A and B are shown apart, each in its own frame.
Chain A
Amino acid sequence: MKSGIVGFGILASLIAASVVIPIYAPYDVVRQWSSVEYWLENPRWAAPEWVTIFTGKNEPRTTVFDPSSFRYVIVRDTIVDQNGREVNLTFITATRRFLWTYDNFPSEISLYIKAFFPGNTSTEPGSSPLVSISLRRPDNQTVQLLGRAVPGPEFNRTTTYHLSSSTGAAESVFGNIRKWVTQEGVLPSDVVAEADILPHVALFARNDTAQLNPARSAHLLQGQYELRIEYVGFSLNDTLEPRARLYGTVFGLMGTDERRRDLLTGVLWGAPIAMAFGSAAAIVVVLSQTILGALSGWYRGPVDEAIQRFADLYLIIPVLPILIIIALLYRPSIVAILFVVVAFGIVGSTTKVVRSIVLQIREEQFIEAAQSYGASRIRILFRYILPRVMPYTFALVALNVPIYIFLEASLSFLGLGDPTLPTWGSIIGQAYTGSALTYGFWWWVAFPTLGIVYTAVGFALVGYAFDKVINPRLREE
């Protein structure tokens, strides 16, 4: 009976989680599950925050520098150039000082430069605004990251310098870092390939031979840094909105995945989805199998024969391969998957068990009594026979829920589940394709797995408890 209490406790906690999760992350969040922009502020592959308790290292959190956190020096002036033309100029210098006291490198650096420069077109050479970005380090070295015109003809332009990526707007950053490192003479230029440079490590590493190594072997340089953005625009009312993000290496309670998604949201939302899917499938399947089994045992004859042969057939149909084929062909939503699962479960082993129970009940005296006072067959079935079978059915529902949760997880793991919903199976599947365990991203696998195991154990314990109540021979003395 203790196990039953534990089981009920687990179920209660799952239901509580299902109630609480919309408060933590409303359904809107789930609809954004496959969106890229929504999760952009989270670090990628971040471990749970609480691992710092065990490692003792102060792992960096994600640091965001808003436009308002920069200090600006703005000079607007009209000068006359050598050709005697009047040129309007706006000089903006935005600086942001910060202390890097964490014990690890940031995982990524992103810079967003949003410039507003009315009245200029790219057809006039030299009239595109110029941007220069530099980083001054605690060792008083200044690294010139970027110096170039803001690309594009738009008047209102945001450019993202995703420094950790070797493509796009940040391309020249790699060359600049390489130049800086070789200038300082720590490493000869020919051993440095641009592709190997990790800006988020190199910029925060001590100026030694390990500077271009990956984060785990480079030496961190703690202290005060200053990010400096210089802007030259060719009108009197240019504005600049710089923004920077230093991604941390830890995030939240369960970390993040490859797509920066908060796994806590995913794992918690997995609970109501798994419970709803598992319970709905188990209830409908067991109920339908019970009723058909009761019909079979009560009416006998051709009805019995038809239902039993149908059940024999269904028992040998392998459901998972069929589900895989259907999922491959139609990419069904989770509701459609539920319908398919139910359709392949209308008869089955429960039909046979219930039939045998009903064969026993039908010989009991109160059934004969009911017949003798003229109750119709269907009335006897629903008022006398089914109530006797129901307790057994409760146990079966509880024991069947994990089966359907596993089924859904298997499909999702294979990438054939509903792609729009964060189910435990799909998270594990993505972790698998993202080689999570090869790189040591254990949290990506562990938490959804725990979710599945926890739920399955809860339902199984409740099912066994029901079974003990119904079957006195299993009762503990």
Chain B
Amino acid sequence: MAILDIRHLRYYYRTRRGAVKAVDDVSFSIDSGKTLALVGESGCGKTSTATAILRLLPRNVETYEGQVLIDGQDVMAYDADEFRRKVRWRGISMVFQGAMNALSPTARCGLQVAEPLMVHYDVEKEEAIEAARAELKSVGLPDYVAERYPHELSGGMKQRVVIAMALIMKPRLVILDEPTSALDVMTQANIINLLKRLLHETGLAYLFITHDLGLASELANDVAIMYAGRIAEIGPATDVYRSPQHPYTQKLIQSVPLLRSEIAPEFIPGAPPDLTNPPLGCRFHPRCPYAFEPCGWSSSEFASILGEEVPPAGAEKIHISHVAKFGTKDPWTLVASPSGETNVSALASELRDLAARWRASVPFLRAIDDIREGDGRVIVKLHQGRSPELIGRDSHRAACWLLQDGGTTVGE
């Protein structure tokens, strides 16, 4: 049975510009002894997922819902005190991003590692520190570290202290939030080996949050690729790496530099979307090279792209001479008014020509369903996009419309 099972987790922050949909309908599960790597760009909601699981909520939470099951028990129903007693550090512990700052500079490491014990159990300080010493030893630190202050340790040692702190209560699951991001490569390898050893020695499970695909491949059994608050692709690490289904995953893997390879690393044009107002349909479609009819181009995106001087994704500049302005009627309907001298039919035919000519190379033009004339304006109907479901064979699933018809892979 899964140690951690998350179903339809939603976690929005409230800001002045509206809700930030940091985690939007995320589901995954982790089995005992396994590692799930949660990979994605900065700001895609990885850390928010972790804090949502541990219920470390800031004051500006707008929505926090879904199911978090630990050993089959839904902990969302717990009140604050019960959650604190039963889940925090007993069920799930966390290694925070940036070990440099995860330790209080004013307390000795031994005491800090012992702190969770003292908070949760009524143990004597000496006893707790003794347990902390044992834990520090098990993460491969010498005895004297317990008496040291954090600033007296190297980055790698500090990270080990933080790991010892996460393990002191023998939790079921440890969330590793970029545990090696501030360390040099040798130390990274050391820490990863330590994490592997600990996983084998105890019945732990890891949720490994990283932006580094290489590290994820080293440690993870399963990989979940996250994009804009959603999971784009999830599956066994070998499958995801060997045959990525989602265009985003493919791009991500192609962006990893390779040694002695002629292939230059690629990048994904554009920027991750604003999570207060994520794109309709598939969230990746504005940056996706394969985007087509159902991916969900909305009329406002359409209008802004057409109005732009610089066209997207490799297309030449598209110039429409007869248009005065574009307006939107609803998310899927665009209204174009012709400029002074030209008539409606001229504009309509220009748009039709444009769509026909560039359809192959400019993804968003594929979203045009129908161009009609009416009321002295041109009405452009777009294909109505929906958010794609996670679908696929067995446990390897991706959220992409390309897979919808019989599960064909893009590359194939």
Contacts from A to B (Cβ < 8 Å): 364-366, 368-376, 379, 383-384, 387-388
**B85-118: contact bitstring with A at CB < 8 Å (1 yes, 0 no)?**
1001100011011100111111100000001100
Evaluate contact between A375 and B115: CB separation under 8 angstroms. Answer: yes
Once the chains are docked, how many angstroms separate the CA of A87 from the CA of B255? Answer: 136
Once the chains are docked, how many angstroms separate the CA of A364 from the CA of B115? Answer: 17
Residue of A366, A372, A373, A374 touching B104 (CB-CB under 8 A): A366
B102 CB contacts on chain A under 8 angstroms: 365-366, 369
B93 CB contacts on chain A under 8 angstroms: 372-373
Evaluate contact between B107 and A383: CB separation under 8 angstroms. Answer: yes
A372 CB contacts on chain B under 8 angstroms: 54, 56, 88-89, 93-94, 96
With contacts A365-B96, A368-B56 taken as known, whether A384 is within 8 angstroms of B88 at the C-beta atoms is: no
Evaluate contact between A366 and B115: CB separation under 8 angstroms. Answer: no
Evaluate contact between B106 and A374: CB separation under 8 angstroms. Answer: no
Q: Which residue of A lies closest to B101 (CB)?
A: A365
Once the chains are docked, how many angstroms separate the CA of A388 from the CA of B116? Answer: 20
B119 CB contacts on chain A under 8 angstroms: 373-376, 379
Residue of B94, B106, B169 touching A369 (CB-CB under 8 A): B94
**B262-306: contact bitstring with A at CB < 8 Å (1 yes, 0 no)?**
000000000000000000000000000000000000000000000
Once the chains are docked, how many angstroms separate the CA of A368 from the CA of B175? Answer: 14
With contacts A370-B115, A373-B89, A374-B89 taken as known, whether A388 is within 8 angstroms of B56 at the C-beta atoms is: no
Evaluate contact between B107 and A364: CB separation under 8 angstroms. Answer: no
Once the chains are docked, how many angstroms separate the CA of A311 from the CA of B45? Answer: 40
Evaluate contact between B84 and A374: CB separation under 8 angstroms. Answer: yes
Residue of A364, A374, A388 touching B88 (CB-CB under 8 A): A374
Once the chains are docked, how many angstroms separate the CA of A226 from the CA of B116? Answer: 91
With contacts A387-B104, A388-B105 taken as known, whether A369 is within 8 angstroms of B96 at the C-beta atoms is: yes
Evaluate contact between A374 and B94: CB separation under 8 angstroms. Answer: no
B169 CB contacts on chain A under 8 angstroms: 373
Q: A366-B103, A387-B104, A388-B105 are in contact. List 19 more A-B contacts (CB 8 A).
A: A369-B96, A369-B102, A369-B103, A370-B104, A370-B115, A372-B54, A372-B89, A372-B94, A372-B96, A373-B89, A373-B93, A373-B119, A374-B116, A375-B115, A376-B119, A379-B119, A387-B106, A387-B107, A388-B106
B101 CB contacts on chain A under 8 angstroms: 364-366
Once the chains are docked, how many angstroms separate the CA of A244 from the CA of B301? Answer: 112
* B151 CB within 8 Å of chain A: no
Within 159-183 of B, Cβ neighbours of A (below 8 Å) are at: 162, 165, 169
Binding site secondary structure of chain A:
helix
Evaluate contact between A373 and B96: CB separation under 8 angstroms. Answer: no
Within 59-90 of B, Cβ neighbours of A (below 8 Å) are at: 84-85, 88-89
A369 CB contacts on chain B under 8 angstroms: 94, 96, 102-103, 162, 165
* B120 CB within 8 Å of chain A: yes
B104 CB contacts on chain A under 8 angstroms: 366, 370, 383-384, 387-388
- B153, chain A: closest CB distance, angstroms: 14
B97 CB contacts on chain A under 8 angstroms: 365
Once the chains are docked, how many angstroms separate the CA of A383 from the CA of B104? Answer: 9
A368 CB contacts on chain B under 8 angstroms: 56, 96
A387 CB contacts on chain B under 8 angstroms: 104, 106-107
Evaluate contact between B88 and A373: CB separation under 8 angstroms. Answer: yes
Once the chains are docked, how many angstroms separate the CA of A169 from the CA of B113? Answer: 86
Query: In this complex, which of A365, A370, A373 has the most chain B Cβ atoms within 10 angstroms of its Cβ?
Result: A373
Once the chains are docked, how many angstroms separate the CA of A370 from the CA of B120? Answer: 12
A383 CB contacts on chain B under 8 angstroms: 104, 107, 115
Once the chains are docked, how many angstroms separate the CA of A157 from the CA of B30? Answer: 108
Once the chains are docked, how many angstroms separate the CA of A364 from the CA of B104? Answer: 9
Once the chains are docked, how many angstroms separate the CA of A371 from the CA of B105? Answer: 16
**Count of residues in B whose CB is under 8 Å from the partner chain:** 25
B115 CB contacts on chain A under 8 angstroms: 370, 373, 375, 383
9 intermolecular pairs with C-beta atoms under 8 Å apart: A365-B101, A368-B56, A368-B96, A372-B88, A373-B116, A379-B119, A384-B106, A384-B107, A387-B104
A374 CB contacts on chain B under 8 angstroms: 84-85, 88-89, 116, 119-120
A370 CB contacts on chain B under 8 angstroms: 104, 115
A376 CB contacts on chain B under 8 angstroms: 119
- B87, chain A: closest CB distance, angstroms: 9
Within 216-270 of B, Cβ neighbours of A (below 8 Å) are at: none
B85 CB contacts on chain A under 8 angstroms: 374
- B98, chain A: closest CB distance, angstroms: 6
B106 CB contacts on chain A under 8 angstroms: 384, 387-388
Query: In this complex, which of B97, B115, B120 has the most chain A Cβ atoms within 10 angstroms of its Cβ?
Result: B115
- B79, chain A: closest CB distance, angstroms: 14
Once the chains are docked, how many angstroms separate the CA of A387 from the CA of B119? Answer: 18
- B177, chain A: closest CB distance, angstroms: 10
- A185, chain B: closest CB distance, angstroms: 90
Once the chains are docked, how many angstroms separate the CA of A383 from the CA of B116? Answer: 13
- B344, chain A: closest CB distance, angstroms: 57
A379 CB contacts on chain B under 8 angstroms: 119
B103 CB contacts on chain A under 8 angstroms: 366, 369
B56 CB contacts on chain A under 8 angstroms: 368, 371-372
B105 CB contacts on chain A under 8 angstroms: 366, 388
Query: In this complex, which of B98, B101, B103, B169 has the most chain A Cβ atoms within 10 angstroms of its Cβ?
Result: B101
The 5 A-B residue pairs with the shortest CB-CB distance in the complex, in nearest-first order: A387-B106, A365-B101, A373-B116, A374-B88, A374-B84
Query: In this complex, which of A371, A372, A387, A388 has the most chain B Cβ atoms within 10 angstroms of its Cβ?
Result: A372
Once the chains are docked, how many angstroms separate the CA of A373 from the CA of B95? Answer: 11
Q: Which residue of A lies closest to B83 (CB)?
A: A374
- B61, chain A: closest CB distance, angstroms: 15
Within 19-71 of B, Cβ neighbours of A (below 8 Å) are at: 54, 56
- B105, chain A: closest CB distance, angstroms: 7
Once the chains are docked, how many angstroms separate the CA of A336 from the CA of B84? Answer: 47
- B57, chain A: closest CB distance, angstroms: 10
Query: In this complex, which of A366, A374, A376, A379 has the most chain B Cβ atoms within 10 angstroms of its Cβ?
Result: A374
- B395, chain A: closest CB distance, angstroms: 30
Once the chains are docked, how many angstroms separate the CA of A287 from the CA of B382? Answer: 67
Once the chains are docked, how many angstroms separate the CA of A365 from the CA of B89? Answer: 16
- A408, chain B: closest CB distance, angstroms: 34
Q: Which residue of A lies closest to B168 (CB)?
A: A373
Once the chains are docked, how many angstroms separate the CA of A383 from the CA of B107? Answer: 8
Once the chains are docked, how many angstroms separate the CA of A374 from the CA of B116? Answer: 7
A365 CB contacts on chain B under 8 angstroms: 96-98, 101-102
Once the chains are docked, how many angstroms separate the CA of A366 from the CA of B97? Answer: 10
Once the chains are docked, how many angstroms separate the CA of A262 from the CA of B123? Answer: 61
Q: Which residue of B lies closest to A361 (CB)?
A: B104
- A297, chain B: closest CB distance, angstroms: 14
Q: Which residue of A lies closest to B111 (CB)?
A: A383
Q: Which residue of B lies closest to A375 (CB)?
A: B119
Once the chains are docked, how many angstroms separate the CA of A385 from the CA of B93? Answer: 22
Once the chains are docked, how many angstroms separate the CA of A366 from the CA of B112? Answer: 10
Once the chains are docked, how many angstroms separate the CA of A368 from the CA of B98? Answer: 12
Query: In this complex, which of B98, B104, B107, B119 has the most chain A Cβ atoms within 10 angstroms of its Cβ?
Result: B104
Q: Which residue of A lies closest to B171 (CB)?
A: A373
Once the chains are docked, how many angstroms separate the CA of A166 from the CA of B334? Answer: 116
Query: In this complex, which of B98, B106, B162 has the most chain A Cβ atoms within 10 angstroms of its Cβ?
Result: B106
A388 CB contacts on chain B under 8 angstroms: 104-106
Once the chains are docked, how many angstroms separate the CA of A376 from the CA of B97? Answer: 22
Q: Which residue of B lies closest to A365 (CB)?
A: B101
B54 CB contacts on chain A under 8 angstroms: 372
- A393, chain B: closest CB distance, angstroms: 13
- B220, chain A: closest CB distance, angstroms: 23
Once the chains are docked, how many angstroms separate the CA of A366 from the CA of B116? Answer: 13
Q: Which residue of B lies closest to A367 (CB)?
A: B104
